[in-house]
Amino acid sequence: MEPNEVKNYDGQQKKKYAIGVMIIIAGILLLLDKTGFLPFEIQHIIISWPMFLIAIGVISFFSSESRTPGSILIAIGGIFLISRIFEMSFNVMHLTWPLILIAIGVVILIRRSPGNSWTMPTARTTSQGLDDGFIHEENIFSGGKQRVINQVFRGGHINCIFGGAEVDLTQATLGEGVNELEVNTIFGGVTLIVPADWKVQMKMTSIMGGFSDKRSYIKENPDPSRMLIIKGSTIFGGGEIKSY
């Protein structure tokens, strides 16, 4: 196998194992519940919507190259699960948003690298080049529009958490061979505008969301060896591919 094929195969295997294990665990818990072997004290904790968020986060964490979406979902589910496990002298729901913001901030500090560009909570429109042909976009509680001018596009990553991004690639050239763009959204959205003759393949995992190719017209690619693979996850969010 080629290196990219091996990488994709490993990612698919991780996702398959994560989903399979979670389904088996869910089946065992439901079986115990239906047969009366699951005490109520445990039932209202395990069979609950916060645990559902944690399960989605675990699947995303192990099936995606980016750990940010999964980490945040696990943190959110864990926060809401606290009040079900412990008796508090105060309403833990009042702490939800401060704790979520702290969790997001910690993830940002852990993930930050010199190549990443973190956005402030404001809308923006830019026309710019890429870092060696790769895009690195992180929108958290923010949104932005970016237009790539006269560049060779090779992929990169876009993460939107409670935010959105629009990237216009109509004036860019797709790099030779297979190019990978990882897109992850949580309560957010991504719009990619690409030339009509680009060969695009999607390998997205969607949970309570979706990512679709909405190009009304697709031209025949003059160089079929050039391909853009869009992979990642949309969780309570969405994304779309368009062309003019």
Extents of the domains making up the chain: 3-111, 125-242
Which residue matches tokens 């994709």? Answer: 8
CA angle 201, 208, 118 (to 5 degrees): 70
d(CA 73, CA 212): 23
Q: What global pTM score does this model have?
A: 0.61
pLDDT tens-place string over residues 122-170:
444 444 556 678 888 888 777 888 888 878 899 998 988 888 999 999 9
d(CA 177, CA 154): 9
For the cut 60, the answer to whether the pLDDT of residue 229 exceeds it is: yes
